[in-house]
Amino acid sequence: MTNENPFCANDPEVFVQAALLAQDYCDAIDLNLGCPQMIAKRGHYGAFLQEEWDLLQRMILLANEKLSVPITCKIRVFPDIDKTVKYAQMLEKAGCQLLTVHGRTKEQKGPLAGVASWEHIQAVRKAVNIPVFANGNIQCLSDVEECIRKTGVHGVMSAEGNLHNPALFEGRNPLVWEMAEEYLEIVQKYPCPLSYVRAHLFKLWHHTLQVYQQLREELAKVKTLEGIVDVNRELKLRCQEEIANQKEGEKPKEGLPFFHWICQPYIRPGPKERCKENGASGTEKGVRGKRTLEEEEDGNSELLSKNKQKKKLRNPNKSFDPSLKPKYAKCDQCGNPKGNKCVFNMCRGCCKKRAFKETADCPGHGLLFKTKYEKSLSWQHSQRGIQSPEMSQRGEAEVGEAVVLKEAGDSAV
């Protein structure tokens, strides 16, 4: 089993410096060029670098030159197959030694995820001479086998499918609480932030928490790992009671392939389905999806998320209309709001990197690298000036001593 360390980066030097710290603990360094999330857009990395081929070439070339382990990449596709193929070939030529292709564009995410294009993945597989892994549309083991057969790839990755059923690649559909028990044992052995644990269990228990809403609320509020173990125990008891009372011939509800207490895929609804879910029936029951609909951006309180509704209660005059938001000038480097008085027209983070690299000042951000450097030089010169009179007096004394010794020697002769 290969252990890869994934990185997000947009600076060749910084990327390689970080990778050098990790290379002794992994088999390969992976450059993630597939993240489509807003945080990647703000930070200028992931799938938002897919048009910057020159930068990507420099990052991969430098990594190949400096690292002792292979460099791999994960990408998303362009709508155009030919451009996707050229993109993959460019990465291969730069030195990428394994390529994972997610068959969705960077715009395909959340309710707009849709179906991944195996046709794009197949075209890349045929066009390059390095191993290619596929990603997208993998919900069960039969999907893995079909993907390999249709695309010819060397391997398959799964994200959401594996989160909802961690036994996906074993071809099993275990009970949700059994998978949770196994996972929580690992967490107890290798502790991590509780938010990570909670996020995993929301995925693993997705279908069951639609039935037991109270347990969903308890999982959201619990503050300790022991509390999460208790929630899992309660979930197990309720499911076992439901199984005991199950009628013969009863079938799963909500169109699920298995009963909710069995690990299984979650098919993300498209925008139309979400509108139906959050329409009349959803309003009557007070049920809403995790993400808000596009229409809520107009500031209509009936369509606002719970978080925005709370803000509205605190401040009734608050508006969520995007057209009323203040417009900020963007950082030349990453797209975050720039400092109004920044001499480089950058946000503070980017400004700090550049000012440090160039030993420059930016009074707008309170960064004084040049000034402090000059002060340190001045201090060093002053220290030398203080030491020099002492050194000269010591030198004169040593010369005088040598003259006396020479005169004494001459008289002795």
Active site residues: 35
What kind and span of H or E run contains 161?
helix 160-164
Distance CA 68, CA 76 (A): 26
Distance CA 367, CA 169 (A): 52
Q: Among candidates 13, 276, 134, 20, which has minimal Cα distance to 5? A: 20
What is the number of helices (H) and of strands (E) in the chain?
17, 8
Q: Which residues pair with 31 in a beta bridge?
A: 7, 73
- Using the structure block, give the residue that is written with the tokens 């199950």: 246
**Alpha helices in 152-265, H assignment, sequence order:** 160-164, 176-189, 194-204, 206-211, 213-221, 225-244
Distance CA 121, CA 99 (A): 10
Contacts of 159 (CB under 8 A, 6+ apart): 135
What kind and span of H or E run contains 272?
helix 271-277
